[in-house]
Amino acid sequence: MYQVEEFLNPGVLAAVLIFLIPIILFPIILLLGKKFEKFRRYSGILATSGIFISFLLSYYLYSLNESFYYQNGWFYNFTWGVFVDPLSIAMAMMVSGVSFLIHMFAIGYMGKDPNRHVYFAETSLFTGGMLGLVLSSNMVMFFLFWELVGLCSYLLIGFWWFKPNAASAAKKAFIVTRVGDVLLILGLAVLYWSLLPVIKTGDPLSIYNILKYANIVPKDQLALAGALVLGGAAGKSAQFPLHVWIPDAMEGPTTVSALIHAATMVTAGIYLVARIYPVYLYAAPWAGYLVLYVGAFTAFLAGTMGLVMNDIKRILAYSTISQLGYMLSALGLGIVASQYTISISIYHLIVHAFLKALLFLTAGAILYSLLDIRDIRKMGGLWKRMPITITAMLIGALTLVGFPPTAGYFSKDEIISLSYYFSEQNPGIYYAWILLLIGAFLTTLYTFRMFFIVALGKPKSYAAENAKDPPWVMLAPIVILSIFSLIYGIFQEGFYKYIGNFEFTLPLYIEILPFILVLFGIYIAWLFYGSSRFSAQNFARKSGFAYRIVKAKYYLDYLYTNIIADRLIVYLSYVVALFDRYIVDGFVNGIGKSFNYLASITRRLQTGIVQNYATFVIIGLIVFLILGKIMGVI
Amino acid sequence: MIPLIYVLTVSLMMFTVGLYGILTVKGGIRLLISIEILVNSANLNIVAWAVNIADSSGIMFVLLSIAIAAAEAAIGFAIFVALYRQTKGIGLKSLMDLRW
């Protein structure tokens, strides 16, 4: 890691252009599309090629094989610049690559939408914001891009704003992530406040210095900062108390869901924790346990909710929440055990990006040919009708559950094994292992429930009978992503070495325990949904109470909207509004009014009679002459 | 030759009359006349001094000044003609719009 002084360095220029190109494309596509009707059909191609250039530049950074940072004065002790290390390069390549494939799919998927130039402009900005977030060298710059990503998610979830569900889902996503953002900015404030006394005066408050000085900051302050920053990460990455926005966000176009879940938005929270990993490492231990158990509990909880959903996209949404829980707990495991386990978490993040993009794109292809029917109970028998799409979906599902030899086996089972490995020395981690293990079982159950209902059996609607594979512009990304999901496992060792290696060995029966659970889960899903041996309805009826709670998403939505928002926030807002209206506004208006009053008196001087003015001029002249005489100037 | 002080006294008297005029009169024409008196008192002053120190350039300046005074009177009349078209009068009261 070294500092690059000059801006015109090929590495620095490439890193800046990576996020600048998609951001610059935003106004270009928007304005051209607005001015020329005919341009709109090319907007998708323009956005896709812009992101492809970003991908090539990311690959160029990778081929440089160097870690460096560049910073330039911004304000006070803050600098803007780029921070390039294996972690950010891996993220940038994943974001731009997966985003490129999703954009390519969207050329077909959004091809008939009248406002597609707005769509592509916004997704381009979305990707650019995420790339900027990944490469920024300063937490304040990071926060700006973080907010840009949040704004774009709001715009894109509400892209079909005329649907009331989409409009309210967009608002919900924005407000829930805003809670996280407030926590994040508080966390950054605490972090800087505790960092300033130990840092050398004049040293910029960059990420580099945060990582460098984290070990000499008081542990309790770091833990507080870490916990607050974790709140921000939980908001963006949909972790336990703040996960409620993701299922509703499915109201946007499917490609937007793919972007949010795979490439851009939700990975930002995991990246945030990984980016300032030493802060947690040197903090008081409770911060690490918080990270671990938020992740592990979310992985378990989201799995249970995914079991009872009937909307294909919502099932995938809960699986995303669950997998993000795995990534976060992988980070937490390393923190609790004081080891450097970023590579394991980020490897799962990247594998998950491939497989989740794949699953969402196949879901998009299904929705495309089924005319937006999202209820899996109305599908069925699609394997015969859309062979390529559903085969790709099977690959995605196998990768998601971690079936060897897909990439998921190498990434997810690694996390579960890691938790067992650490729990041998640290019994506090033992429960996390159990939660993650059950989470893996639940993942298998709901993934294959979805797959069996969608792929097998008889078509249950007219649209499902006439489904067929989508055109090639949509199939090509799906095929590429399925190949990646299948073979990415061979890069495991290289990837771990690239980011930072951590090796461990376990007895075989622990290593294959998740795999046994996966097989068991597939078998149970087959019994219920693949064959008609058991009836899921009967089972749901028998376990009535538990089913009702899970179906109602543990009443968390009810708690947030009906109790916290309606009973608490609304009344609080009344008080705050009164304060604003009478005290803040009163102060501002009071200043205005006092000047108005003063003016109403003094303006009487302006009589409008020219001779009065002349009189004043002459009196003034005489006064000046007399003064000059007295002071001896004249 | 008339002593300088006599001429300066006349000039001062004219200046005072003119100043009094522009500060008090109510009609536009009177205002213009007062200004002429002011300008001419200044001219008289310059001529007196020019003769006193026997330098003809002062007299040339006064000729210029008279020409400027004529132009300025023409502009003043133009303003009052425009004002008359607006308000059917050239009393200075009708110029009072220039205020709050």
The average pLDDT across A280-309 equals 86
Average pLDDT over chain A, rounded to whole? 85
Q: Name every residue whose Cβ is closer than 8 Å to that of residue A108 and which is 6 or more positions away in sequence.
A: A368, A470, A471, A473, A474
CA-based nearest residue in chain B for residue A617: B23
According to DSSP, the residues that pair with A72 across neighbouring strands are A80
Rg over alpha carbons for chain B, rounded to the nearest Å, is 17
pLDDT of residue A535: 67
Share of chain A above pLDDT 70, in %: 98
Residue A533 in this model has a pLDDT that exceeds 70: no
CA distance B1 to chain A (A): 32
CB A408 within 8 A of CB A361: no
Confidence band of B100 (pLDDT split at 50, 70, 90): low
Within 8 A of B96 by CB-CB distance, chain A residues are: 607-609
From first CA to last CA, the distance across chain B in angstroms is: 55
Q: Of A286 and A205, which is predicted with more confidence?
A: A286
What is the Cα–Cα distance from A536 to A309, expressed in whole angstroms? 13
Q: Name every residue whose Cβ is closer than 8 Å to that of residue B11 and which is 6 or more positions away in sequence.
A: B41, B42, B44, B45, B48
CA distance A152 to chain B (A): 50
Strand A2-4 and strand A78-84: the pairing is unpaired
CA-based nearest residue in chain B for residue A606: B99
The average pLDDT across A613-622 equals 90
For residue A2, the 8-state DSSP code is E
Range in A272-276, A343-347, A426-430 the model is least confident about: A426-430
Q: Of B77 and A376, which is predicted with more confidence?
A: B77
Burial class (CB in 10 A: 0-12, 13-18, 19+), A420: buried
A627: part of which helix (H) or strand (E)?
A: helix A610-631
Q: How far is CA B2 from the centre of its chain?
A: 24
CB contact under 8 A, B92 and A611: yes
Handedness of CA A104, A110, A116, A121 (dihedral sign): negative
pLDDT of residue A532: 67
User: Cα dihedral angle (A261, A264, A267, A271), rounded to 10 degrees?
Assistant: 180
Confidence band of A627 (pLDDT split at 50, 70, 90): very high
User: Cα dihedral angle (A523, A525, A531, A537), rounded to 10 degrees?
Assistant: 140
pLDDT of residue A592: 94
Tokens describing residue A355: 């497989």
């490129």: which residue's tokens? Answer: A100
Q: pLDDT per residue over A62-87, tens digit each?
A: 888 888 888 887 777 788 888 888 88
pLDDT of residue B70: 93
For residue B92, the 8-state DSSP code is G
Q: How far is CA A254 from the centre of its chain?
A: 16
Q: Which of B95, B97, B100 is opposite residue A603, by nearest beta carbon?
A: B100
CA distance A604 to chain B (A): 8
Of A380, A245, A247, nearest to A306 by C-alpha is A247
pLDDT of residue B44: 93
CB contact under 8 A, A618 and B96: no
CB contact under 8 A, A618 and B95: no
The number of distinct structural domains making up chain B is 1
For residue A375, the 8-state DSSP code is B
Task: Answer yes or no: pTM beyond 0.80.
Answer: no
CA-based nearest residue in chain A for residue B24: A611
The average pLDDT across B58-86 equals 91
Share of chain A above pLDDT 90, in %: 11
Classify each residue of A174-184 as buried b or exposed e, where b means 16 or more C-beta atoms within 10 Å of its C-beta.
bebbebbbebb
Segments in A456-471 forming alpha helices (H): 462-465
- Find the chain A residues whose C-beta atoms sit closer than 8 A to any C-beta of B: 603-604, 606-611, 614-615, 618
On whether residue B68 sits in a domain, the answer given is yes
Q: Which of A604, A608, A614 is opposite residue B96, by nearest beta carbon?
A: A608
What is the Cα–Cα distance from A422 to A428, expressed in whole angstroms? 9
CB contact under 8 A, A609 and B24: no
CA distance B80 to chain A (A): 14
Confidence band of A423 (pLDDT split at 50, 70, 90): confident
Residue B41 in this model has a pLDDT that exceeds 90: yes
Q: pLDDT per residue over A427-484, tens digit each?
A: 878 888 888 888 888 888 888 888 888 887 777 777 777 777 777 878 888 888 888 8
């790339």: which residue's tokens? Answer: A131
On whether residue B37 sits in a domain, the answer given is yes
Segments in A456-560 forming alpha helices (H): 462-465, 472-487, 492-499, 508-511, 513-525, 536-542, 544-551, 556-558
Residue B78 in this model has a pLDDT that exceeds 90: yes
Q: Name every residue whose Cβ is closer than 8 Å to that of residue A573 and which is 6 or more positions away in sequence.
A: none
Q: pLDDT per residue over A590-610, tens digit each?
A: 999 999 999 888 888 777 777
* H helix count then E strand count, chain A: 30, 3
Confidence band of A305 (pLDDT split at 50, 70, 90): confident
Q: Of B33 and A550, which is predicted with more confidence?
A: B33
User: Cα dihedral angle (A533, A534, A536, A540), rounded to 10 degrees?
Assistant: 170
Of A47, A410, A93, nearest to A267 by C-alpha is A93
Q: pLDDT per residue over A490-513, tens digit each?
A: 888 888 888 877 777 777 777 788
Phi, psi at B90, each rounded to 5° = -125, 25
What is the Cα–Cα distance from A514 to A464, expressed in whole angstroms? 34
Within 8 A of B99 by CB-CB distance, chain A residues are: 603, 606-608
Confidence band of A569 (pLDDT split at 50, 70, 90): confident
Within 8 A of A608 by CB-CB distance, chain B residues are: 95-99
pLDDT of residue A52: 92
Q: Does B32 touch chain A (CB under 8 A)?
A: no
Q: Does B91 touch chain A (CB under 8 A)?
A: no
pLDDT of residue A246: 84
* H helix count then E strand count, chain B: 3, 0
Average pLDDT over chain B, rounded to whole? 89
Domain of B85 in residue numbering reads as: 4-95
Phi, psi at A83, each rounded to 5° = -125, 110
For residue A82, the 8-state DSSP code is E
Residue B40 in this model has a pLDDT that exceeds 80: yes
pLDDT of residue A424: 81
pLDDT of residue A434: 86
How many Cβ atoms from other residues are within 10 Å of residue A188's Cβ? 21
Range in A62-71, A461-470, A575-584, B16-25 the model is least confident about: A461-470
Q: Between the CA of residue A557 and those of A234, A324, A548, what are the distances in Å?
A: 16, 20, 14
Q: pLDDT per residue over A193-235, tens digit each?
A: 888 888 776 677 788 888 888 888 888 888 888 889 998 888 8
Tokens describing residue A496: 């771990």
Question: What are the residue ranges spanned by the domains of chain A?
Answer: 289-311+322-509, 558-631
* Domain containing residue B84: CATH number: 1.10.287.3510
CA-based nearest residue in chain B for residue A602: B100
Q: Which of A608, A611, A615 is opposite residue B99, by nearest beta carbon?
A: A608
Q: Which of A602, A610, A612 to mutate to test the interface with B (most CBs of B within 10 A)?
A: A610
What is the Cα–Cα distance from A526 to A518, expressed in whole angstroms? 12
According to DSSP, the residues that pair with B27 across neighbouring strands are B91
Q: How far is CA B77 from the centre of its chain?
A: 13
CA-based nearest residue in chain B for residue A612: B23
Burial class (CB in 10 A: 0-12, 13-18, 19+), A467: buried
CB contact under 8 A, A611 and B100: no
pLDDT of residue A536: 66
Give the strand order in the sheet containing A68-75: A2-4, A68-75, A78-84
What is the Cα–Cα distance from A494 to A411, expressed in whole angstroms? 13
From first CA to last CA, the distance across chain A in angstroms is: 73
Within 8 A of B23 by CB-CB distance, chain A residues are: 611, 614-615, 618
Q: Name every residue whose Cβ is closer than 8 Å to that of residue A167 and which is 6 or more positions away in sequence.
A: A158, A161
Q: Does B95 touch chain A (CB under 8 A)?
A: yes
Confidence band of B71 (pLDDT split at 50, 70, 90): very high
pLDDT of residue B66: 93
Residue B11 in this model has a pLDDT that exceeds 90: yes
Q: Of A623 and A422, which is predicted with more confidence?
A: A623
Q: Which of A608, A611, A618 is opposite residue B98, by nearest beta carbon?
A: A608
Q: Which of A604, A608, A615 is opposite residue B23, by nearest beta carbon?
A: A615
Classify each residue of A269-288 as buried b or exposed e, where b means 16 or more C-beta atoms within 10 Å of its C-beta.
bbbbbbbbbbbbbbbbeebb
Q: pLDDT per residue over A135-178, tens digit each?
A: 988 888 899 999 999 898 888 888 888 888 888 888 888 888 88
CB A70 within 8 A of CB A4: yes
The average pLDDT across A251-280 equals 86
CB contact under 8 A, B97 and A611: no
